[in-house]
Amino acid sequence: MAHAVVEYTDNLGPEACIPELLEKLGKKFGDSGGVFPVGGIRVRAICLTEYFVADGQGDDAFVNVTVLMGAGRTAEFKAKFFGEMFEIVKDHFAWLFERRGLALTLYVNEADEAGSFKHNNLHARLKARS
């Protein structure tokens, strides 16, 4: 499992290119040397229309990425992999970051195996496709 939720404020406008960002994040998960099976990748966005950022005085924007994955990866792997993923986020928004108030964050959470339930035909379908 490799879940990511991208919350973004709608004042970013179409320049945020969210579908492209989702694809970049999904492909990064897929490019993990098998740590994250492709069939378990689920990246999605939520567009925020009501928000209060910083002091509420500027037209400040933010993007917040929340990752959820199974426990068990090493601290080294996590620091490296999600550091790289965050660089992707920073690169994606570099142009906007130079031009407007913008805060980018990425948080990594781990799911407790005992409280995880799964049923998935994507792994089999991907195998059939390839």
Q: Which residues bind its own copies (CB under 8 A)?
A: 1, 3, 7, 9, 18-19, 22-23, 25-27, 30, 38-48, 50-58, 60, 62, 64, 67-68, 75, 78-79, 82-83, 86, 89-90, 97, 101-109, 111-112, 114-122, 125-126, 129
Cα dihedral sign, 24-96-90-45: negative
CA atoms of 59 and 40, how far apart (whole Å)? 36
CA atoms of 1 and 69, how far apart (whole Å)? 6
Whole-number minimum distance, CB 63 to its own copies, in Å? Answer: 10
Host H or E run for residue 72:
none
Whole-number minimum distance, CB 70 to its own copies, in Å? Answer: 10
